[in-house]
Amino acid sequence: MKQYKILFFIADGLGDRPVRKLQGKTPLEYVDKPNIRELLKNSIVGLMDPISPGVVPGSDTSHLSMFGLDPHKYYRGRGAFEAIGAGARLKASDVAFRGNFATVNNEFIVVDRRAGRKIEEADDLVKELNEKIGEIDGVKVRFYHGTEHRVAVVLSGKGLTDKVSDTDPHEVNKKVLESKPLDNSPESQFTASIVNKLTHKIYEVLNSSEINKMRVSKGELPANIILLRGAAEFVELPQFESYTKLKAAAVSATALIKGICEQIGMRVVTPPGATGGLDTNYLGKADAAIELLKEYDFVFLHLKATDAASHDGNIDGKVYAINKMDEMIGRILDKFGSELVIAISGDHATPVEVKEHTGDPVPFLLYVPYSIINDVVNDFNEREVRRGSLRIRGLDVINLLLNYSNRAEKYGA
């Protein structure tokens, strides 16, 4: 049986609800998509719940699930995945925290939980912290800057656990909290003591930093503490190739998605001009996928623009991004004709009038380059795919792709 290569195209936040400005159509219904429509001649389609019906996915839990990794097993909290998104590459038993640059007075009372939010010097502050705090009691400490006031802090070493409480009091005019062990293990006691020493060390470094002196002299709040929350132990992710036998690569410009793909061993490419925004280099991403498909069995192509427009409530932007998405598919079809298995979906719905993720199911399309019983539908959108045969969960995706590319191994004899 001929084995086909696989293109898996995710338009982030693709799913939507009827939009008044689009005459009650969803953006996917509104946009004419001649290239995707062409695929429908030999596709099975339907709805996918990235996690399970009604559960509102994050992009992290959803991608884990669609890559075949059950988030209930591998997702231990946002800390670890925020760190991955901020550039950290984690090892089993690393413990990661989400953190805010914040402002405290000399009694450790929180004056501003975000030190004014926009902190232009955040990268430099993180660099200074990494230089001046290498380790504490044998535990390696690394800092990563996310966006605005957000940082991730990763502890690596023996005897660590995520069973410790936050130092973030989650309110102003409260004192920075002591981290407490959340169970009776020596690991929690040890980790809490590291976190508390670290908090004082961070204050020491930041409060005497020249950068903060400059901020104060400009009338800005000093970013003189990091409030930590959401301790999460990283559970080592299996390597994608080990459980799929697929040589895999990804095209993405989004830090969190790139991080997840790298952690599971995919080669990750961000072509020039790819931004993760509406201004991204759509066809450049398609071309990058085309190049990778020459060498790899499986190429994951991630488009963030649809989600970015949705979070901004930018209806025209979402319509534009979906038009571009169809062009990307067209470009790939021009090169590969009907030689690929192609899946197209979203990692969750971000209805453009809601501006947040919702737990609605997302349309899913699976094109197969040989004769199958195809689902007879007229378009690829939230309404029309309900007439298709698929009603799957994110965890089913990889199995479907392996099956229809003739690469699945029999489960049993």
Based on the shown chain and the rule CB under 8 A, indicate whether residue 271 belongs to the binding site for its own copies.
no
The one among 60, 128, 168, 297 contacting its own copies by CB under 8 A? 60
Measured from the CB atom, is 109 or 354 closer to its own copies?
354
Residue 390 near residue 44 (C-beta atoms within 8 A): yes
> Residue 395 CB, nearest distance to its own copies (Å)?
8
Based on the shown chain and the rule CB under 8 A, indicate whether residue 109 belongs to the binding site for its own copies.
no
Based on the shown chain and the rule CB under 8 A, indicate whether residue 373 belongs to the binding site for its own copies.
yes
Going by the DSSP 8-state scheme, the letter that residue 281 receives in this structure is -
Residue 90 near residue 83 (C-beta atoms within 8 A): yes
Measured distance CA(58)–CA(63) in Å, rounded: 8
> Residue 356 CB, nearest distance to its own copies (Å)?
7
The interface with its own copies within residues 333-362 (CB under 8 A) comprises 354, 356-361
The one among 32, 34, 54, 186 contacting its own copies by CB under 8 A? 54
> Residue 335 CB, nearest distance to its own copies (Å)?
26
Q: Which stretch binds its own copies (CB under 8 A): 49-57, 131-139, 246-254, 264-272?
A: 49-57
Based on the shown chain and the rule CB under 8 A, indicate whether residue 378 belongs to the binding site for its own copies.
no
The one among 81, 101, 143, 336 contacting its own copies by CB under 8 A? 81
Going by the DSSP 8-state scheme, the letter that residue 112 receives in this structure is E
Based on the shown chain and the rule CB under 8 A, indicate whether residue 235 belongs to the binding site for its own copies.
no
Q: Tell me the one-letter amino acid at 388.
A: G
> Residue 58 CB, nearest distance to its own copies (Å)?
2
> Residue 148 CB, nearest distance to its own copies (Å)?
15
The one among 3, 21, 34, 52 contacting its own copies by CB under 8 A? 52
The two beta strands, 135-136 and 5-11, are unpaired
Based on the shown chain and the rule CB under 8 A, indicate whether residue 324 belongs to the binding site for its own copies.
no
**How many angstroms from the chain centroid is the CA of residue 274?**
16
**Count of Cβ atoms closer than 10 Å to residue 120 Cβ:** 9
Based on the shown chain and the rule CB under 8 A, indicate whether residue 23 belongs to the binding site for its own copies.
no
Which residue do the tokens 């293990």 mark?
A: 185
102: Cα within 13 Å, side-chain hemisphere = 28
**b/e map of 20-41 (b: 16 or more CB within 10 Å)?**
eebeebbbbbbbebebbebbbe
Based on the shown chain and the rule CB under 8 A, indicate whether residue 410 belongs to the binding site for its own copies.
yes
Nearest C-alpha neighbor of 64 from the set 238, 233, 232? 238
Residue 249 near residue 288 (C-beta atoms within 8 A): no
> Residue 83 CB, nearest distance to its own copies (Å)?
11
Strand partners, 364: 46
Q: Which two three-digit tokens encode residue 218?
A: 């400009």
Q: Which residues bind its own copies (CB under 8 A)?
A: 1, 17-18, 20, 24, 26, 47, 51-62, 71, 75, 78, 81-82, 85, 256, 354, 356-361, 371-373, 375, 382-383, 386, 389-392, 396, 398-404, 406, 408-413
